[in-house]
Structure 1
Amino acid sequence: MTDRPERDALRPRLSGGLTVEVIETSALGDRSYVASDGEVAVVVDPQRDIDRVLAAAGRLGGRIGLVLETHVHNDYVSGGLELSRLTGADYGVSAKDDPPFPHRALDDGDIIDVSPRLRIRAVATPGHTFHHLSYVLEGSEGPVGVFTGGSLLYGTTGRTDLLGEHHSEELARHQHTSVRKLGDLLPDGAHIWPTHGFGSFCSASPAEGDASTIGEQKSANPAFTLAEHEFVEQTLAGLDAYPAYYAHMGVRNIAGPEPLDLRAPTHADPEELRRRLDGGEWVVDLRSRKAFVKSHLAGTVSLGLDGPMVTWLGWMIDWGAPLTLLGETADEVAEAQRELARIGIDRLAAAATGTPDELAADRAQLTSIPVATFTDLAAAFDSGGSGGGGGSATDGELPAPDVVLDVRTRSEFGDSHVRSAVHVPLYEVTQRAGEVPHGTVWVHCGSGYRAAAAASLLARAGRDVVLIDDSFDNAAEAGVPLES
């Protein structure tokens, strides 16, 4: 599985006999939490695949008595409603959200006595959304930590533009106030347990660290260290694009998601795969990019399970378009299916397992993509290639680059990029492939994962491509001319 297994470091034992277990969803950059006193458990921001939550509660020895949402999530479909239905637990959400399903409406200052040793205090912390709540976990000796959702993160805060850019400045001001409210309310030793910030695009900037306290954040988090106007300016300046599928998540969560169905998709034989590929459908190869470039079915898209497949696929695919998954094993397909269900892609057109040789209806379908490094690109520059058209091959095998395509985000490109590179972020490649100049395209990103996806999309569109499977950090040392 791509989600990290539970570790002792992710299950801190707290004062008063309380335990908090972290359930990581690393593919989306989020965390859910189960807090227990050994008899009763509280679940905060559960993902849609609630079997992981039930297993965690079982390990901690407590029945689930309360399920809480910090906010209406924009980056995943919540499992809170279904978990509440299955366990009979109260489902606590902001009273201001007023969803149509049964729930416990919570306001600022509300206290829930879950057990004699476990209490939850709701704290209004608008910023990430207008109705955002944080939840202080209190034991017999007082507050021990706070579940901060998309408010106070490790070294940063949740982004403030998900409800529309016209609200982003107002919400950034709220975010600054909310974080300081938590700092005034809680002791410096109180743990913070955010939902976002581990690679999630819900974070305003990359989070720092794996654990933290209120006191540590007071000296490191811009929401504490900067004045309001400075914080707002920095927050708004750092916002970049976020996944297109976010538009569907909040609507689905507020309406009440249906139960998860992870039954195996319909099996596709080689002839059906060929028909789907010939029809221009999305057929995604889940193998690593290194395996993909060596051999794959022409027209398939490289989005390996060894990277954030679900984020990029959810960002690029037309919502509701037929989707077929290809894996080496049934377990790989099942893992991808679970990840996709977390963002509401429930119904797969088909799936198939095996090697490209086994999945091809005709050997003419098999193809490959040349691979280069930034050292190769530097050699191409030295020989007159890249951007100018018609340079010589760098080693007798690689076709010379006519175009260098950078598929990183706008902020990454703005920081530094290859001289004369064309910039099209990965999430825009399918719409803007026609803007890429003619000739052989050498494509790169920050590490190779996004570039492999882009290369496969361009190859599907009939372009000649070379994948630069290398870290961008190596470009300058290799001698590639850069500019910013």
Structure 2
Amino acid sequence: MTVHPSLAIRTIETPSLGDRSYLVHDGDVAFVVDPQRDIDRVLALLRTEAVRLTHVFETHIHNDYVTGGLALARATGATYLVNADDEVSFERTAVHDGDTIRIGERMRLRAIHTPGHTYTHLSYALTDDDRPVAVFTGGSLLYGATGRPDLLGPEHTDALVHHQHHSAHKLARALPDETRIFPTHGFGSFCSATQSEATESTIGQEKRTNPVLTQDEEEYVRDLLDALDVWPAYYAQMAPANAAGPGAPDLSLPRLADAVELRRRIEGGEWVVDLRTRTAFAAGHAPGTLNFGLDGSFATYLGWLISWGTPVTLLGDTAADVAQAQRELVRIGIDRPAAHATGGPDRWSPHAPVSFPTATFADLDLVRHHRDVVVLDVRRTDEHRAARIEGAVNIPIHELPQRVPDVPSGEVWVHCAAGYRASIAASFLHAAGRTLVAVDDTFENAAKTGLHLVGPDA
């Protein structure tokens, strides 16, 4: 018997979206599962590993990012495999439930229909010389969770959540306990029904710990549906883009804008986005600019809040910051910023930079003893209901751009769970002329002050 070295399974992380892609090879040929839009990362890894890409697989038509699958296949000459039942407008190799694809001399990938996240979702079970070693589960069976079943619309949620339960059990029956699981979602992605801290797992581990495999069907369905909350608005744009067959992105820097042009864009209702940290933004920024820092979930929140199609101009300390922001934006289908500028707020406006104060929850506790202030909580509704400052007004961050007039009059102290969303909110309020303080603190610290918290988790 010939003894082979282990297959190499390389993870390509996209932490800003909470997703993973995978490159697998035997030392000679490789395949990729669920590549992101910026395929240069995959091409670089292929060069590093010194292997040839022959196949690109999609587990499903994605709802949280624009795929790089078609562009990667075209760039490398690889075969592009998509479920035969997915309606797409490009040529691909159609895959059916039960198909086995041979890759090189050793690797075999078997398609398993696992509906639940979508109706046409496929998982791919990998064998090495007929020995099961891994399964790529996309948005089906995740680490301690499953993909959410509500992204196709409420009329499909009930059917899909039951499918999800059946699919997880199908995988658990079909594969040995030692089979390693490699999901695409579940690392902070809103495509996961619930979140887990796990970074690796096996079929056996999930049988012991994952609610979809430990609960009966009705209990799982009830608990999962009760836990579902809102998802980013830009998700509605992703499936149509992926079904159309997105090409490779243009990551070259957009045109350079001066202060006069930036002011004109702001006054014209466009978004001029400051990529710096919330601390830097609060200390001084160009009037009317919005703060989506690169140090947080930049693309998720910008894509969630923006009216789709609104021109975006990017402001960064350096061209590298702008390039990073571009990379994150093309992953969600915002392909070409209108312009960019670098250097700092002194160079971004004909007017002097403006600022607003930041504070802690302890500061908020003290100030409420001296004067009335509006406490604005921009966390999601479920977070607010679980534990909140008594008297706080809740306008979730994804609703705020349309609801700034709903913020009560007076001095506003805006908070979230850790400061990032509060800074986004503060930038909208400051641009609207409101007097405010941004609470840059973790919500856990609110309980350590004299602030009165209410709610079941308070």
Gaps of 5+ in 2: none
Q: CA RMSD in A?
A: 1.3
Which residue of structure 2 aligns with residue 43 of structure 1? 32
Which among 155, 167, 179 is matched to residue 178 of structure 1?
Answer: 167
Which residue of structure 2 aligns with residue 277 of structure 1? 266
CA contact (8 A) 1:22 1:34 kept: yes
Does residue 476 of the first structure (1) align with residue 456 of the second (2)? no
Which residue of structure 2 aligns with residue 371 of structure 1? 358
Which among 375, 379, 393 is matched to residue 408 of structure 1?
Answer: 379
Which residue of structure 1 aligns with residue 313 of structure 2? 324
Which residue of structure 2 aligns with residue 396 of structure 1? none
Which among 348, 351, 361 is matched to residue 350 of structure 2?
Answer: 361
Write the distance in 2 (CA, Å) between the matches of 1:64 and 1:347: 29
Which residue of structure 1 aligns with residue 85 of structure 2? 96
Any idea what SS the aligned residue of 1:296 has?
coil
**1:17-54 deviation line (CA, Å, top 9, x unaligned):** 20100000111111000000011101000001101111
Which residue of structure 2 aligns with residue 7 of structure 1? none
Letter in 2 for 1:56: L
Moved more, 223-232 or 254-263: 254-263
Letter in 2 for 1:450: R
Any idea what SS the aligned residue of 2:24 has?
strand
Which residue of structure 2 aligns with residue 4 of structure 1? none
> How far 1:380 sits from its partner (Å)?
2.5
Write the distance in 1 (CA, Å) between the matches of 2:4 and 2:395: 51
Any idea what SS the aligned residue of 1:17 has?
coil
Which among 158, 164, 179 is matched to residue 169 of structure 1?
Answer: 158
**1:151-209 deviation line (CA, Å, top 9, x unaligned):** 01111110000000111111010001101111111111111011011111101011231
> How far 1:107 sits from its partner (Å)?
1.3
Moved more, 95-104 or 305-314: 95-104
Does residue 78 of the first structure (1) align with residue 49 of the second (2)? no
**1:214-267 deviation line (CA, Å, top 9, x unaligned):** 111111111011110011111111111111111111001011112211121010
> How far 1:16 sits from its partner (Å)?
5.2
> How far 1:100 sits from its partner (Å)?
2.3
Does residue 249 of the first structure (1) align with residue 238 of the second (2)? yes
Which residue of structure 1 aligns with residue 333 of structure 2? 344
Does residue 198 of the first structure (1) align with residue 187 of the second (2)? yes
Write the distance in 1 (CA, Å) between the matches of 2:45 and 2:175: 27
**1:353-378 deviation line (CA, Å, top 9, x unaligned):** 01111223222xx1111111010111
Write the distance in 1 (CA, Å) between the matches of 2:434 and 2:99: 59
Which among 220, 232, 236 is matched to residue 231 of structure 1?
Answer: 220
**1:115-159 deviation line (CA, Å, top 9, x unaligned):** 111110100000000000001111015110111000011111100
Percent identity between matched residues is 55
Which residue of structure 2 aligns with residue 6 of structure 1? none
Which residue of structure 1 aligns with residue 202 of structure 2? 213
Any idea what SS the aligned residue of 2:186 has?
coil
CA contact (8 A) 1:15 1:139 kept: no
CA contact (8 A) 1:23 1:31 kept: yes
Does residue 34 of the first structure (1) align with residue 5 of the second (2)? no
Any idea what SS the aligned residue of 2:156 has?
helix
TM-score normalised to the size of structure 1? Answer: 0.92
Any idea what SS the aligned residue of 1:297 has?
coil
Does residue 455 of the first structure (1) align with residue 426 of the second (2)? yes
CA contact (8 A) 1:78 1:257 kept: yes
Write the distance in 2 (CA, Å) between the matches of 1:131 and 1:141: 26
Paired residues, what number? 453
CA contact (8 A) 2:108 2:130 kept: no
Structure 1 residue runs of 4+, over 3 Å off? none
**1:447-467 deviation line (CA, Å, top 9, x unaligned):** 000000001101111111110
Any idea what SS the aligned residue of 1:357 has?
helix
CA contact (8 A) 2:286 2:351 kept: no
Does residue 427 of the first structure (1) align with residue 416 of the second (2)? no
Write the distance in 1 (CA, Å) between the matches of 2:158 and 2:350: 55
Write the distance in 1 (CA, Å) between the matches of 2:130 and 2:258: 62
Write the distance in 2 (CA, Å) between the matches of 1:455 and 1:473: 20
Write the distance in 1 (CA, Å) between the matches of 2:15 and 2:338: 26
Write the distance in 2 (CA, Å) between the matches of 1:57 and 1:82: 15
Which residue of structure 1 aligns with residue 10 of structure 2? 21
CA contact (8 A) 1:16 1:140 kept: no
> How far 1:15 sits from its partner (Å)?
7.7
Gaps of 5+ in 1: 1-13, 385-390, 392-400
